[in-house]
């Protein structure tokens, strides 16, 4: 099924099940501990051995020699796999770094061996007996130093321009030219990267924790040099991903290699330090933003340049993306520059591009508003646009940023904010409010599903879509129930298996909207099959309360299914939709903080997010996604920072003790408001993504609130007390 125009007769619009705040259907499995995660599968995994991955002890160089003798003789050891005996390995299409190092080492904790033993403890103990001698090479570990050698990336649109930015900026009556920085950040999800691998002849099955099943199959097949049909990935439950499980990682490859060598199933889970240094992270950025405006607040020039680093062959952090689309301005320039760094791989983390980009842009907007003597919200509203500023002939399919900001201001009590910083106190606490626009592009992805109706009235949905804690099971079940006129308890959803039709997968904020659109398409096929069997016109048939009706005739779906049941399978595609319309999601984030005037400690006191993200398929699960994203945004603002040992080239705080993330005590009650809207251009669901919109802008709103409280501007994240303590107002 191809979708290029809004659906004219759309069963989803009945909203009998879709749009309701239903509990997650996988909730009981999660809360009782019976949901099987990657390391916990038992079915079909008899007599499993355990693998322990050994990571490189240097950041760059070569392995001179590797002595395995003591490890091979250790108790319980079955096999040891290194680059010497792994056979030919190719890079999958999504990989930047080699997942198995040797003899060359590209980054610290790159996997160099997997030891397979009868028990986990035996494998871990034996791995420590491997002696590796290295020849170190000099590496680059500091973005500030490498910035001068950065070049335009080759695999993306590095630069954009419209008008004459240089001339317009020089001529602008009011200008801003500031530089901001964001640090390296870790996904820090609860479930580790883990895989169980089993071979049956030349066919490989992986029970793994992976957000994108089809990508994982492609990468594993390419890496091992085997046909795709010989690889099966199973990932029904994922304990958090945030982008860190988008691609094939070392746990999956080393489990597969270990299982092949041991000739039995092998379980591999990466340790927490290995997760931080072996897998991916959000790379640091340095961003220069220039804005020129007229005295009445109209932007005439906006320029945004960003520098980031990655391993050779890697890509940039796309921190200028939102600046190309968020605000009006005739003269525009954005540029990305990529430096080679010998740190672990930089890659996608929740809202890549927009999250770190807005950390800078939305402080700059506040700084510019202050220069103009304007309220920060009024300045943003004055520069709203209903078309893509770089391509004015392409309108937004839906854009309600102004409403988000204005409604948020009303609900948050923005009118009580003191325009002059440092004026509001609550005892020893300096109190301030901050705001930031939220923006994240709405991507739509080809997505398929299969639905089967049996003679007992049960509808089974199968798609390789994953659930990373976002509620995919539930919104997919709601979609199928709505389409077929069934109660939710009559729908069974099966996800995360590469034997099912290929879906959008979980990433890029496209999962919920795209995967449910694929289920919609499959249900249309099933409705047609039911109608054809009964001699009904499918366009006129009504599916409700477990029956299908046409005029005065009503037939139970159980009867229509017959003894053999009926099925439908289809894929939702989008044609040239993205070329005709710019699809984005919008919002406003509001934060109130208190800053202790003596210690500089920052406490978030109140938070509000107002989101415009199309139809909200399930307000309860969507709210959960947004408040989780808001919490991550507070972490980015105040504490998250991967510290680099710039001598040895690794992340020092590589566990949940040293890498600080917000806990319950750090986060107050959070309010979320969804605008009542549908976007018929987005999909037949008329929905959009929301899980990443919730983080976009939060850090800047927090930083802006700190400035409003203290009068101290910090442009280098995270905003820790050492960066403003010596500049706080005197305690009176």
pLDDT digits (tens, 9 = 90+) for 286-333: 999 999 999 999 999 999 999 999 999 999 999 999 999 999 999 999
Helices (H), ranges, 63-193 = 69-72, 120-127, 143-146, 165-171
pLDDT at position 273 over 60: yes
Whether 577 contacts 427, CB under 8 Å? no
Q: What is the pLDDT of residue 90?
A: 87
Q: In this structure, which CATH number among 3.20.20.70, 3.20.20.140, 3.30.420.40, 3.30.365.10 belongs to the domain 353-443+580-727?
A: 3.30.365.10
Where residue 432 falls among pLDDT bands split at 50, 70, 90? Answer: very high
> What are the b/e assignments for 622-633, b being 16+ CB within 10 Å?
bbbbbbbbbbbb
Whether 298 contacts 368, CB under 8 Å? no
Which tens digits make up the pLDDT trace of 697-717? 999 999 999 999 999 999 999
Compute, in degrees rounded to 10, the torsion defined by CA atoms 201, 206, 212, 216. -50
Q: What is the pLDDT of residue 131?
A: 98
Weakest-pLDDT range from 92-106, 383-397, 514-528: 92-106
More confident residue, 449 or 157: 449
Which tens digits make up the pLDDT trace of 656-684? 999 999 999 999 999 999 999 999 999 99
Q: What is the pLDDT of residue 92?
A: 63
Where residue 97 falls among pLDDT bands split at 50, 70, 90? Answer: low
Where residue 6 falls among pLDDT bands split at 50, 70, 90? Answer: very low
Mean pLDDT of 245-261: 97
Which tens digits make up the pLDDT trace of 473-519? 999 999 999 999 999 999 999 999 999 999 999 999 999 999 999 99
Q: What is the pLDDT of residue 44?
A: 74
| Coil vs helix vs strand at 21 | coil
Where residue 94 falls among pLDDT bands split at 50, 70, 90? Answer: low
What residues have CB less than 8 Å from 724, skipping those under 6 apart?
Answer: 595, 600, 706, 710, 712, 714
Domain coordinates in residue numbering, the chain: 11-35+445-573, 353-443+580-727
DSSP code for 22? P
pLDDT at position 96 over 80: no
Where residue 7 falls among pLDDT bands split at 50, 70, 90? Answer: very low
pLDDT at position 2 over 90: no
Mean pLDDT of 344-357: 97
Residue 590 CB neighbours (<10 A): 28
CATH no. for 11-35+445-573: 3.30.365.10
Please identify every residue annotated as catalytic: 692
Which tens digits make up the pLDDT trace of 182-216? 999 999 999 999 999 999 999 999 999 999 999 99
Mean pLDDT of 613-634: 98
Report the chain's mean pLDDT, rounded to a whole number. Answer: 96
Helices (H), ranges, 309-395 = 354-372, 376-382
Rounded to two decimals, the pTM is: 0.97
Q: What is the pLDDT of residue 157?
A: 73
Mean pLDDT of 593-608: 97
Where residue 172 falls among pLDDT bands split at 50, 70, 90? Answer: very high
Q: What is the pLDDT of residue 3?
A: 54
pLDDT at position 602 over 70: yes
Where residue 242 falls among pLDDT bands split at 50, 70, 90? Answer: very high
Helices (H), ranges, 455-594 = 472-484, 511-534, 557-561, 577-580
Closest CA to 672 of 716, 631, 706, 725: 631
Pairwise CA distance, residues 317 & 281, whole Å: 11
Q: What is the pLDDT of residue 93?
A: 60
Pairwise CA distance, residues 195 & 131, whole Å: 26
Q: What is the pLDDT of residue 158?
A: 82
pLDDT at position 8 over 70: no
């Amino acid at each position: 099924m191809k979708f290029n125009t809004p659906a004219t007769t759309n069963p989803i619009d009945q909203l009998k099940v879709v749009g309701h705040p239903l509990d997650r259907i996988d909730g009981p499995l999660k809360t009782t501990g019976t949901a099987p995660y990657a390391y916990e599968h038992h079915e079909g995994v008899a007599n499993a051995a355990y693998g322990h991955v050994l990571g490189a002890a240097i950041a760059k160089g070569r392995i001179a020699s590797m002595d395995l003798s003591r490890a091979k003789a250790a108790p319980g050891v079955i096999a040891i796999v290194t680059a010497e005996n792994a056979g030919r390995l190719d890079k999958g299409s999504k990989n930047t770094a080699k997942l198995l190092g040797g003899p060359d080492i590209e980054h610290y904790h790159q996997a160099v061996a997997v030891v397979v033993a009868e028990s986990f403890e035996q494998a871990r103990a034996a791995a420590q007996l491997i002696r590796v001698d290295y020849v170190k090479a000099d590496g680059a570990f500091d973005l500030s130093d490498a910035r001068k050698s950065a070049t335009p990336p080759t695999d993306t649109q590095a630069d954009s321009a419209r008008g004459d930015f240089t001339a317009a900026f020089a001529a602008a009556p009011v200008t801003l030219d500031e530089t901001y920085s964001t640090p390296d950040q870790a996904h820090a999800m609860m479930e580790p990267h883990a895989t169980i691998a089993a071979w049956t002849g030349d066919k490989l099955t992986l029970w793994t924790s992976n957000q994108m099943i089809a990508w994982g199959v492609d990468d594993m097949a390419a890496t091992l040099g085997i046909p795709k049909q010989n690889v099966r990935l199973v990932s029904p439950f994922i304990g958090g991903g945030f982008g860190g499980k988008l691609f094939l990682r070392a746990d999956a490859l080393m489990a597969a290699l270990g299982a092949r060598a041991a000739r039995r199933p092998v379980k591999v889970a990466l340790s927490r330090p290995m997760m931080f240094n072996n897998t991916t992270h959000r790379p640091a950025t340095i961003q220069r933003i220039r804005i020129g405006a007229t005295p009445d607040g109209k932007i005439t020039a906006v320029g945004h340049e960003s520098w980031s680093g990655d391993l050779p062959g890697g890509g940039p952090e796309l921190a200028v993306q939102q600046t190309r689309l968020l605000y009006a301005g005739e003269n525009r320039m954005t540029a990305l520059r990529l430096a080679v760094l010998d740190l672990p791989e930089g890659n996608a983390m929740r809202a890549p591009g927009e999250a770190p980009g807005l950390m800078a842009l939305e402080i700059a907007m506040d700084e510019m508003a202050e220069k103009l003597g304007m309220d920060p919200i009024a300045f943003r509203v004055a520069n709203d646009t209903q078309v893509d500023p770089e391509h004015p002939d392409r309108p937004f399919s839906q854009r309600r940023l102004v409403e988000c900001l204005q409604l948020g201001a009303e609900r948050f009590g923005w009118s009580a904010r003191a325009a002059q910083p440092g004026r509001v106190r609550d005892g020893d606490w300096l109190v301030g409010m901050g705001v930031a626009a939220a923006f994240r592009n709405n991507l739509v992805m080809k997505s398929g599903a299969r639905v089967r109706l049996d003679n007992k009235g049960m509808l089974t949905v199968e798609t390789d879509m994953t659930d990373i804690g976002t509620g995919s099971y539930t919104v997919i079940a709601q979609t199928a129930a709505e389409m077929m006129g069934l109660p939710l308890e009559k729908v069974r959803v099966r996800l995360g298996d590469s034997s099912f039709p290929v879906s959008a997968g979980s990433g890029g904020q496209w999962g919920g909207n795209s995967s449910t659109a694929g289920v919609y398409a499959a249900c249309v096929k099933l409705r047609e099959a039911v109608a054809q069997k009964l001699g009904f016109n499918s366009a006129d048939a009504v599916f409700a309360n477990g029956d299908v009706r046409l005029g005065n005739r009503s037939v139970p779906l159980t009867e229509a299914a017959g003894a053999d049941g009926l099925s439908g399978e289809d894929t939702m595609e989008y044609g040239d939709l993205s070329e005709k319309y710019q699809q984005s999601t919008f919002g406003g984030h509001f934060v109130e903080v208190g800053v202790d005037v003596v210690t500089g400690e920052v406490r978030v006191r109140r938070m509000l997010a107002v989101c415009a993200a199309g139809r909200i398929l399930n307000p309860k699960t969507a709210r959960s996604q947004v408040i989780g994203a808001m919490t991550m945004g507070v972490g980015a603002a105040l504490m998250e920072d991967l510290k680099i040992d710039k001598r040895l080239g690794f992340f020092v705080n590589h566990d949940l003790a040293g890498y600080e993330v917000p806990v319950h005590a750090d986060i107050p009650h959070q309010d979320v408001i969804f605008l009542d809207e549908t976007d018929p251009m987005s999909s037949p669901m008329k929905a959009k993504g929301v899980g990443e919109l919730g983080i976009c802008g939060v850090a800047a709103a927090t930083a802006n609130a700190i400035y409003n409280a203290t009068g101290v501007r910090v442009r280098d994240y995270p905003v820790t007390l050492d960066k403003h303590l010596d500049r706080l107002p005197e305690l009176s």
